[in-house]
Structure formats: C-alpha cells, structure tokens
Amino acid sequence: MKRLTAYLVRLFVVDALILFGVLCALLWMVNCLRSFDVVSVKGQSALVLGIQALYTMPPLAIAFFYVCIGIGLVRALQALQISRELHIIHINYGLPSLWRASAVVAGAGVLGVLVLSNFIEPYANRQLNALNASIAADLVSSTLRPGRFTQVTPGVVLLIGGRAADGEISEFFADDRRDPEVRRTYIATSARVATDGQNYVLELRDGTLQNSAADGRFSEVSFMRYDVNVETLAQAISYVDPRSEKDSVELVTTALSSGEWDEGLTMLLANRSAEGLRVIGIAMVALALAGFPSGRRTRIAMPLEAVVLLIAFAERGLSAYSPLGAATGALGMIGVAGAVIIWRTRPRRAGEVLA
C-alpha cells in the first residue's frame, strides 16, 4: 500500500470509527434508560440491565453503521479540501490512491457489517431471548409479589395468590394481550417454574385457558396440567421467528441438507446481504459529494453530513416500500453516485477544472 493510500485510509477510518463509537455508547445508554424497569420493577441487578441493553444493540448498530462510514468519509474529504490537500491529490495524479483508499475502507465496512448482520445479530437475539426468559422465570418464581399485578413484558400481566417456601405458586393468573386479534388468559389453582436445563417451563395445574377473539368469539379449555414456555411470556411480541436466532451459515447449511428454500429464508438472507451494498453505495455517495475540489461559493452552505443523512433516510424509505427488495435503495445509490463520479472525472479543459 502506497504512503498516500495508507494516509487516506487512516483519515477515513479514524473519523468513521470515532462517530460509530460515540453513537454506540449513546444508544447503549438510551437502551439502558428504556429498560430501567428491569431494575426498578423486575428486581434484577444493574449488570443484567447493561447486558440486556447490549444485546439489543446489533440491529441498531447495523442501521447506522453505513451512515457512520459515509459521514466519516465526507468529513475527512472536507478536511482535505480545506487544507488544499485534495487539490494536490487531483493535480498530481493521486486519484488512484484516493480510489484505493476508498475501496479499502468500503471493503472493510462491508466485511464488518456482514459479520454484524449474519453472525453477531443472530447471536445477540438468541442471548437476549434466553436472558428475557430467565428474567421472566425469576420474576415468576421468586420476585413476583402475592396479590399484586405485575407486568412481565408489555401486554403480559401476572398475578399470584401466594407462594410456598418450596416455590409452589397458588392461584395463578396471567393475561396476555400482545396479539391484537386474540386475548389469552391463563387461570390455574397452582403453578411451578421448572427447567430442563435449556428452557424454563411454567407448569400450570387444575385450571382453564380462555381465548377471546377480536370479533367476539370466546373459547375456554379446562386442563389438569398445562405447560407454558416461560420464553413465550417474556417476549415483547407473541411470536419470534426462530430464524432470527440462527446465523446465515447455519440457515444455508440446514436449507441445503433439507432442500427447502422458502421465500422467507431467501428474503432474510437477502436483507442481511443488502447491508453490504449500502456500505458500498454510501461510500460512493461520499466520494461523489466531497471527493472533488470546487471553487464555487454559496451563500448558504448545507453541511454535507446532513446531506448524507438525508440520502440514507431516502434510501431506507425506498428500500422499505420497493417491491424489488431491500437492496433497491443501495443499488440506486451505487448507480447515481457512480454516474456522478464518472461525469466529474471526465476529461475537461484547464479552465473547467475548478469551475
């Protein structure tokens, strides 16, 4: 790697990493504040609060990862223009080094975001679900106060009549309203929390299960014993896709062995891979915006960082509503930015260079 290329790579990476680190720290603290009920209501320690907030970070980190790379590139390129180094790079045929440095940063960003989306996020989802199940089991077995309604997770309320020294629960009641279509109520004379070493199970005895549909339909089932996976009561929503807890290698290996490639699996893998295209697209956008020196002056200069944010917002909106898939916005950024870069690098007369 040439010295100029290494110098530019260092500038680009430092700005992007600083911004990414600051945003990660701020969002982690925000998540801690949002989950503070773990400490104040559910009786868990501050350490559990911090770990739970940490496990919720990967999806957020993926969402703003490519934005940090784009802003880092723009800030570094603006600093080069202010110091006139960018002019020297263009005049002294240093564009190949600029392209190589941008490619190195974009390549490292693609690798980083693919590791986040394909491996770290599924692992964090798996650990977060297990932690939530453990918190719910602890809440039911030891923390839940007799005669007091307690919210395990938004939409799920528990009430017990009493608890014996051996952990036996009397007069158990649970109301699950997470699904807007069906309200589910568990009523049991007694209950106990058990585990098989991997999962926590709530053993309900001598009770009823009531289902109330949004259209007014009602059903009731009596049981001598009914086992409820505590994890299903701990989730913020009633259903969690098990594929979200598996990394892409495991999903592909399972699909190849079974021969089943359904639309949901293909969509999930495509969404994870689209994050890499977003990094490439935003890096090209940064080069198109700030990679070329300009002598023009405007009365009101709009910060290029804000332009990058607006472009990222538009890309997310386009990808979300496009019938062509999650990579639509990223491919659009690559196409438009590529056209601008080609146009700006076209051969021009000497008087047009700084126009």
Distance, CA of 315 to CA of 334 (rounded, Å) = 11
Q: Which residues of 259-294 are buried (b: 16+ CB within 10 A; e: fewer)?
A: eeeeeebeebbeebbbbbbbbbbbbbbbbbbbbbbe
- H-run or E-run covering 8: helix 3-34
Could you read off the pLDDT of 170-189 as tens digits, one per residue? 999 999 998 888 999 999 99
pLDDT of amino acid 33: 85
pLDDT score, position 134: 79
In this prediction, residues 52-68 reach a mean pLDDT of: 94
* Distance of alpha carbon 56 from alpha carbon 142, whole angstroms: 26
Residue 315 banded pLDDT, cuts 50, 70, 90: very high
Q: 37-46, 107-116, 317-326 — which is least confidently predicted?
A: 37-46
Of the ranges 53-67, 164-178, 339-353, the best mean pLDDT one: 53-67
Query: Mean pLDDT of all residues in the chain?
Result: 87
Q: Are the beta carbons of 24 and 57 closer than 8 angstroms?
A: yes
pLDDT of amino acid 98: 93
**The pLDDT of residue 355:** 45
Average pLDDT for residues 350-355, to the nearest whole number?
Answer: 49
Interval 234-254 mean pLDDT: 81
Residue 239 has pLDDT above 70, yes or no: no
Q: How confident is the model over 328-348, as pLDDT tens digits?
A: 999 999 999 999 999 988 876
pLDDT at residue 350, rounded to an integer = 52
Residue 352 has pLDDT above 60, yes or no: no
- In angstroms, rounded to a whole number, what is the distance separating the alpha carbons of residues 100 and 256? 37
pLDDT value of residue 197 = 67
| CA-based max dimension of the chain | 90
Distance CA 138, CA 101 (A): 52
Can you give the three-state secondary structure of 44-75, one letter per residue?
CCHHHHHHHHHHCHHHHHHHHHHHHHHHHHHH
Across residues 5-34, what is the average pLDDT?
92
Provide the token pair at 226: 């009914």
Confidence of residue 237 (pLDDT cuts 50, 70, 90): low
- Residue 235 scores a pLDDT above 80: no
Specify the range with the lowest mean pLDDT, choosing from 45-54, 191-200, 206-215.
Answer: 191-200
Say yes or no to pLDDT of 351 above 80.
no
Instruction: Give 349's DSSP letter.
Output: -
Q: Which two tokens stand for residue 302?
A: 């709009």
More confident residue, 95 or 46: 95
- Higher pLDDT: 60 or 42? It is 60
pTM of the full predicted structure?
0.81
Please compute the mean of the pLDDT values over residues 311-320 and round it to a whole number: 92
- Higher pLDDT: 273 or 260? It is 273
pLDDT by residue (tens digit) across 289-311?
999 887 665 545 678 999 999 99
